[in-house]
Amino acid sequence: MKTKLRLLTVVACVFLGIDGQAQTVPVLFQENKPLSIEFAISIREVKKNLTDSVYFPAQLRYQTAEGRWDSLPVGMRARGNFRRENCYYPPLRVKMKKSDAANTPFAGNKNLKLVLPCQNSKDANSLILKEYLGYKLYEPHTRYIFHTRLVNVTLRERQGKQIKTHQLVGFLIEDDDLVAERFDGKIRETTLHPLQLEDTTAITHDFFQYMISNTDWSSVTSHNIKVLQLKPARHIPLAYDFDMSGLVNAPYAKPSPLTGQNTVRDRVYRGFCRSERMVSYVRQRYLEKENDVNAVINDHAAYFSEKQLIDIRSFVGEFFATLKNERLFKDAFIDRCRKN
């Protein structure tokens, strides 16, 4: 009887995960194959609206696994600040009723973020694919992530009485509340001191941002970070929005005047100073995941040209070379961490 009980306990722990919570992921994000979707909106009207509570009605058409097309009613609005003001295509928030989403690929979702290319240019799709790759490169290092799904988008832009059709690549990001629900936590609405973030997850997050050379975030103001609050008092950073990173290297990306970078490809560690023992522990964990990171790049190789692949592998490889070199590691992470 005791043996059976121990076995059941082990099985339960494996199923529930380290936090003791069921790791439920919506079916939309259980599939890696790009989903084909279509919708019609007026980009001008969507960008002009600055009220978060106003959604524009649309029919979201999607292709099923069997190749049929179906649709569901949704609401759409622009989100973000920089891209709304500076990009042709704004990133969108897509809202739907759970009852409408039931028995569709979107089952279990009420809100989704749809990331589209910034500009209507030749390299727009390759840039969005690099940003998507950033999300995938984070996955080997932590369970505290936003799940994503590539989409092939047919956007029919209403321009008065005319319709202009755009063929785009984009990706969907799961809603904050679904991540919180997965870990039986909640998204913290107020800021907290960065050193109140859990040590290992905060350092893991900060290493990742250094790996992709992203400085467009702040744990002080919660810029491009959501804080997941778990019981009893754990605070976990959730990273998103990597278009300004050196990995993507978008033509519109500018280095922050606060970091001393000449270009967004110049890596700067933005993490606050923590215990050297803890930093070394995370360093070792990253080194152990190098093969997994390279496997992620290989898994997505078909989306990039040979020249782009060489650049991605070289850029990520430089990060691991820094971790392997005692002098470079100390200079980048220990000596240059942000003081309290």
Split at pLDDT 50, 70, 90, the class of 97 is very high
Question: What pLDDT, on a 0 to 100 scale, did the predictor assign at position 39?
Answer: 98
| Section 57-86 average pLDDT | 94
| Section 165-183 average pLDDT | 96
| Residue 311 predicted with pLDDT over 80 | yes
CA distances from 181 to 102, 122, 126, 199, 322 (A): 18, 39, 33, 22, 37
Question: What pLDDT, on a 0 to 100 scale, did the predictor assign at position 23?
Answer: 56
The model carries a pTM of 0.92
> For 106, how many CA atoms within 13 A lie in the half-sphere containing its CB?
30
Split at pLDDT 50, 70, 90, the class of 5 is very low
Residue whose C-alpha is closest to residue 286's, from 197, 199, 208, 198: 208
Strands (E), the chain: 35-41, 56-63, 69-78, 92-95, 111-115, 148-159, 162-174, 186-187, 225-230, 234-239
| Per-position DSSP letters for 138-158, written without gaps between them | HTTT-S----EEEEEEEEEEE
| Section 26-44 average pLDDT | 96
| Section 266-275 average pLDDT | 97
| Residue 260 predicted with pLDDT over 80 | yes
| Residue 176 predicted with pLDDT over 60 | yes
pLDDT tens for residues 204-219? 999 999 999 999 999 9
CB 271 within 8 A of CB 206: yes
| Residue 130 predicted with pLDDT over 60 | yes
> Look-up: residue for tokens 């005692």?
326
| Residue 170 predicted with pLDDT over 70 | yes
